[in-house]
Structure 1
Amino acid sequence: MNEDVLSINQNNMATEGKSSTLLSGQPCTVPDYPDVSGLSSAHTSRASLHHHDERPRPVFEIIEPPAQLSAITTHTTHIREPGIDDTFPDGGTRSWLVVAGCFFVLMATYGMMNSTGVLQSYFATHQLSNYSTSAVGWIPGLFTFFGLVLSLQIGPMFDRYGPTGILIAGTVCYVAGLLLLAECKLYWHFVLTLGVLTGTGAALLSTAALAAVPHWFDRKVGMAMGTAMAGGGLGGVTFPLVLRAAFTSFGYQWAIRLLALMVAVMCGLGIALVRSRLPKGRSRSTINLNAFKDTRFTWLTLGTFSLELEVFAGLGLYPTYVVMQGYSTSTSVILLSTLNVFSTLGRLVAGGIADKYGRINTQTGLICLGVIAIFAIWLPFGNTLPGLYMYSSVFGLASGSFLSLAPACIGQISKASEVGGRFGICYSIVSFATLICIPVGGEMLEKVGKQAMVAYLGSVLVVALGMFLMARWACLSYRWRWQAKI
């Protein structure tokens, strides 16, 4: 009897030793870690005694180790918190109204970011015709930079106070900036209005809208984020066509005023519909650089940096590239709109696929498609109109996920009350990519030629692919499993 008790105590001590090793975050041996089903071998053995007719497991499964392993965990769904945090509606009228409000806000903000190529092309041939392509490129670059860098401060504000006040302040800045843009004539006028003031408004609006959606969705967050981000694609289709027609019919000033009116209506709908699920003051998120101790977050941030370095450079320079190939400005606008049409479709489709097979899995697959589009279509056939239309369609379809799934990937490895703060940290770093991407690409376009610029953009996308593969590997504690849903 005493020998049995001693044996049990020794087993308990061994188990405690394993638990302390796991909670300390030290490297674990494979037997100590859960298998792909998220169940220990002992638990599986016990379950098999009672469930001889267990159904076959799906091909893709979520790996679920202890939640304390923040730096090396393979846990790929939202980390639960006590109380209200651990209940995600994942649907219903209120949840989808938040998605609709985010859709309109991102149509106004990200839609404009997707349309900066049209504005840059117009400025370069009219008010700022005496400046180089790279010099003019700093203006939309600053707009996108401020639209992202300020999220470092706005994210914690959202976590603490909710979205409504932030959205109202953002709408005021954004609309005022566009109205002042209509009066601009000198270079520094454009820098202050479009670059700084309008960019600040875009940061307030987009950060609050994006951070609200993961409060309402867990299993369907990919579809919800894809639907919301489709607003940015639709704005990228609508704004170039409206500006093209308005510049011809009404002139520059009234075209920009019409744009300001459209933005005001979209932002008003966002203010009315976007709500936070957590009570005000419940969250106490601050700017916490300890987030980078989570290696999954670090790799995702680096991957998103590389993605947006390529995407915004491509969107900003694509119309200029088309014109340099000898085609008309109207053709360049149509090609950009075509790219954004397929980008919108890609965002809608990618969300559902991501929820089924994994968000990082889907993201890496579509990045591969984007790399193929650049090196197999744009690079060899970019001087032909059929080649440009084919590239716009294929790359648009792939790039639809680049911006929509990146926040979903970050949201799934973060506590609900920390989502805004982590978005802020990530996109404040990513903003430096958007600041330099158009000027650097414009300089390459002028100095080393069109082909070299295209090859450069493709290479950046290859780097982004590597970063997302590393993020997936980190989610698996650096032990690769092809069939894991990540």
Structure 2
Amino acid sequence: MGSSNSYGVYLQEYQQQFPKTPNSLLSWIGSIQYGIISFLGAVSGVAAERYDIRWVVFLGSLVSGGSLIIASFCKTPWGLLAFQGIVFGIGGSFMMIPAMCLPAQWVGRWKGLATCVATTGGSIGGLWMSLATRKMVATLGWQWSLRINGLVVVIVGMAVSPLMKKRVHLEKREKLVDLDALKSTRFLTLFAASIFVSGAYFAPYNFMPPYAVEQLRLRKTWGANVSSVMNACGTVGRLVVGFVADYVGPLNVLVACLVGTAIAVFALWLPFRSREMLVVAAVFVGLCGGSLVSLGPLVTARLFGIRRLPSLLGLLYIANSIGAMVCSPVAGVLLDKTGAGSDYTWVIVYIGCFYVMSAILIATLWFVK
């Protein structure tokens, strides 16, 4: 997750290295990372249930880290899409999904807080990786930055995978995904909402850093600074949200976070073209929006029960992959067609609309049975 959350720094560099390449393609490299992670969620989840989770995570780290190293030798955006995007996502799925399943096995009362604490790793990783990547790109070049990031993924994966242990033996699922859920209006609403939530989640991380450089004409280092601000605030936001969700319910907290992020986009990011207001917008987007992905499983468990959670998550991961792979590339097309590659006005409006639609659909779950 840290690598995905810091992709905006690479996007900023790729826009300059490949000036004739559409922004939609460059944006898709980062989007498809999380899209593949989510799309393979059902498969990696089953692998974690049936095999030793330590080996699953270890092999995932080898694939993810190795893909970044191979990507560093690519000369075209299509090569980067294949290795930094698709192959990294495949390995990332076998790292992230099993790791997210463990906290609930070891924690009783504070499941919401435990899950959000586990996902803060993505924000912490994005925080230091944004700054480190910007520094490495500036001093060593983007190729060596990818190689070093790849080695970090492999080394960290090898170090932590032996520590991951299942507390209970999980029964084999009767179904990989619960297709009967598609007959439920409530689940279909949640499925549609998940598309918008996941699409909205990564868009600011992808577009705020290049916006700072391309539209506000700030120094290149500001792209990494903005990304780091969002990730730092996302760390705090996830901890607070996880604690509050255990008291007032994850659905209520998710609606509040979506509304708060939409306000930050439309009231802080869109109308003001200054460095100071961009930082303020990044703070609120990080605080409110950073916890969106971690709240999804909690909402699903609350609405449909813990027993149906594994098979339902298989479908919701597919919804997440659709949103992740559609939102940012379409925003890239808008940037090319309406902003000539440097005016982000309609991109910001588009991202804000994703948050508004997410809030509306999630709020309807209060009433849909």
- Shared fold by TM > 0.5? yes
CA offsets 1:215-260 (integer angstroms, 9 cap, x no match): 3335311101110111111111111111111122333333222212
CA offsets 1:251-270 (integer angstroms, 9 cap, x no match): 33332222122212332344
**Is 1:334 paired with 2:228?**
no
Within the candidate set 97, 107, 114, 2:5 is matched to 114
Higher mean alpha-carbon deviation, 239-248 vs 446-455, is at: 446-455
Distance 1:188 1:366 in 2: 35
Work out whether residues 160 and 285 of structure 1, in 8 Å CA contact, stay in contact via their aligned partners in 2: no
- Give the alignment of 1:201-220 within 5 angstroms: 201-220=91-110
Work out whether residues 171 and 267 of structure 1, in 8 Å CA contact, stay in contact via their aligned partners in 2: yes
Residues 162 and 273 of structure 1, relative CA distance in 2, 3 Å threshold: same
Partner of 2:117: 227
What residue ranges of structure 2 are gaps of 5+ in the alignment? none
> Which protein has the larger Cα radius of gyration, Structure 1 or Structure 2?
1
Q: Percent identity?
A: 26
Q: Secondary structure at the match of 1:234?
A: helix
Partner of 2:259: 368
Partner of 1:247: 137
CA offsets 1:119-174 (integer angstroms, 9 cap, x no match): 12212212x23312122222222222212111132233333335233212211211
Distance 1:373 1:339 in 2: 12
Distance 1:291 1:160 in 2: 24
Within the candidate set 263, 284, 295, 1:405 is matched to 295
**Is 1:304 paired with 2:197?**
no
CA offsets 1:314-359 (integer angstroms, 9 cap, x no match): 2111122222222222112111111111111100111001101111
Distance 1:294 1:278 in 2: 30
Partner of 1:470: 364
Work out whether residues 116 and 140 of structure 1, in 8 Å CA contact, stay in contact via their aligned partners in 2: yes
**Is 1:389 paired with 2:283?**
no
Partner of 1:482: none
Residues 164 and 421 of structure 1, relative CA distance in 2, 3 Å threshold: farther
Within the candidate set 446, 460, 464, 2:354 is matched to 460
Partner of 1:237: 127
Work out whether residues 156 and 285 of structure 1, in 8 Å CA contact, stay in contact via their aligned partners in 2: no
**Is 1:354 paired with 2:245?**
yes
Partner of 1:435: 325
Residues 165 and 296 of structure 1, relative CA distance in 2, 3 Å threshold: farther
Distance 2:107 2:195 in 1: 25
Distance 2:163 2:56 in 1: 13
Q: Secondary structure at the match of 1:472?
A: coil
Q: Secondary structure at the match of 1:129?
A: coil
Which letter maps to 2:4? M
What residue ranges of structure 1 are gaps of 5+ in the alignment? 1-109, 478-486
**Is 1:197 paired with 2:91?**
no
Which letter maps to 2:349? A
1:443 positional shift: 1.3
- Give the alignment of 1:277-316 within 5 angstroms: 277-279=167-169, 282-316=172-206
**Is 1:448 paired with 2:342?**
no
Q: Secondary structure at the match of 1:275?
A: coil
CA offsets 1:167-214 (integer angstroms, 9 cap, x no match): 122112111101111211123321221122111001111111122333
Aligned alpha-carbon RMSD (Å): 2.0
Q: Secondary structure at the match of 2:75?
A: coil
Higher mean alpha-carbon deviation, 152-161 vs 318-327, is at: 152-161
1:273 positional shift: 2.5
Residues 352 and 269 of structure 1, relative CA distance in 2, 3 Å threshold: farther
Residues 175 and 417 of structure 1, relative CA distance in 2, 3 Å threshold: farther
- Give the alignment of 1:68-83 within 5 angstroms: none
Distance 1:215 1:296 in 2: 27
- Give the alignment of 1:91-170 within 5 angstroms: 110-126=1-17, 128-161=18-51, 163-170=53-60
Distance 1:322 1:463 in 2: 26
Within the candidate set 266, 276, 281, 2:166 is matched to 276
1:296 positional shift: 4.1
Distance 1:251 1:397 in 2: 31
Work out whether residues 343 and 398 of structure 1, in 8 Å CA contact, stay in contact via their aligned partners in 2: yes
CA offsets 1:276-303 (integer angstroms, 9 cap, x no match): 3332555544222123345444333322
Which letter maps to 1:340? N
Distance 1:434 1:280 in 2: 29
The normalised TM-score by structure 1 is 0.71
Work out whether residues 201 and 290 of structure 2, in 8 Å CA contact, stay in contact via their aligned partners in 1: no
Q: Secondary structure at the match of 1:185?
A: coil
The normalised TM-score by structure 2 is 0.92
